[in-house]
Structure 1
Amino acid sequence: MENRFNTIAGWALAGGIAALGLSIVTGEYFKGHRPEKMGYVVEGVEEEGAAGGAEAEKPIEFYLASADPAKGADVFKKCAACHNANKGGGNGLGPNLWGALGKPHGHVPGFAYTDALKGVPGTWDWKSMSDWLHNPKKYAPGTKMTFAGLSKPEDRANIIAYLNQQSDSPLPLPAAPAETAEAPAEGAAPVDGNATADAAAPAAGNEAAPAAAPAH
């Protein structure tokens, strides 16, 4: 009786050991791994940062053509902690910005500009002011200006239009840059270069008329 009990216990123990071993082997074989690419792929949707995801920014003159100085005054509130644009106003942490457009960098007397900004050549024109407002540290590496910048070109255009009005002699805002020439109308017959040349050639004995001349 005792031998029979020992035999059954031995078989039960052996079965348990076998089951445990099989469990370990199976777990290793089917061990989960993190997929190289998580989630599901949705056709037509690009990953963040993929090329072509954002429309290229147009020149600042394009946005200035429809800029609103009143909206620029609201945007300027972000700058008011350091600057004012009042005629005869004093300097704060930043220089007074009255009449800044068209002036050289570092033009306010008595303000301690950084060498980084004073070393930038040129004047505060439309593009330079836009580039400065977009990213001061990129425009003048080493500047003490801590403002992160305005990413939207519409905001920069509005604030530039506002600053332009804070002057005894506001500059005329630029016209929007001309768009590229339109493509030929659909279905239009292609122009034969030889035929065009023949048609343009002056008749014998006659001279061609001169072409008109194209204007911190």
Structure 2
Amino acid sequence: MKKSITAMALVIGMGLVTACGGSGDEPGEAAPPPPVETETPDADPAEPAEAETPETTQAAGSSEFAALPEPYASADFDRGKRVFLQCQSCHTLTDGGAVVLGPNLYGMFGREVGTSDGFEYSAALQEADFIWTPELLDQWLARPRDFLPGNNMSFAGVQRPDDRTAVIAYVMSQTGYEAP
């Protein structure tokens, strides 16, 4: 039974290829044109062209992050925005934005922890004594419960360091960050 279904699928598939213009191998039918290759004028033909990889894209950075210090200036804006989707159900980023399940994050960098207006913080955050920096946010985002035991944030964390860098850069770019 399986062989007959496979054979039938093959026959139908071949029929569709023929109906959609064929394979180019049939008499009287033109073969498809060869792919067009482009060369960089200064390229050395003896050396293979370097393919763009996520690493080279990451190194290039995003223009939205150009004013940020490293490693955030080299982060990928789209990646940071995408990772922030995990955060937006609890946090807003705009000046005067709503307090949802968590505090609004606008102006968080350089602000003492647990002091955003309009949000009732856990005792752990109220008693903590530090100023938010991108580096401390990185540690927090890795595992909030381990960073500050007793806080009420029910988020497991952002495991990949490059995702944390990108989301921190995104938050910096959206919340009025100014370098110290």
With normalisation by structure 1, the TM-score equals 0.48
Letter in 1 for 2:163: D
Report if aligned partners of 2:114, 2:126 keep a CA contact under 8 Å in 1: yes
Q: Which of 121, 126, 135 matches 1:118?
A: 126
Q: Which has the larger radius of gyration?
A: 1
Which residue of 2 is the match for residue 85 of structure 1? 93
Q: How many equivalent residue pairs? A: 112
- Once the two structures are superposed, residues 127-181 of structure 1 have per-residue CA deviations (whole angstroms, 9 ceiling, x without a partner) of 210011111001110111110001111111111111111234x2349xxxxxxxx
Report the CA distance between 1:65 and its aligned residue.
4.5
Cα offset, 1:62, TM superposition:
6.2
Alignment gaps of 5+ in structure 1: 1-60, 174-216
Unaligned 5+ runs, structure 2: 1-68
Aligned to 2:178: 171
- The residue type equivalent to 2:161 in the other structure is P
1:146 aligned counterpart, secondary structure: coil
1:107 positional shift: 2.1
Which ranges of 4 or more aligned residues in structure 1 deviate by more than 2 Å?
61-65, 170-173
Query: What is the alpha-carbon root mean square deviation over aligned residues?
Result: 1.9
Identity %: 38
CA drift at 1:63: 3.9
List per-residue Cα deviations over 1:21-58 (Å, max 9, x = no partner): xxxxxxxxxxxxxxxxxxxxxxxxxxxxxxxxxxxxxx
Whole-angstrom CA distance in 2 between matches of 1:92 and 1:107: 15
Shift in CA distance, 171/69, structure 1 to aligned 2, threshold 3 Å = farther
Q: Give, in whole Å, the separation in 1 of the partners of 2:121 and 2:87.
A: 17
Contact 2:73–2:169 (CA under 8 A) maintained in structure 1? no
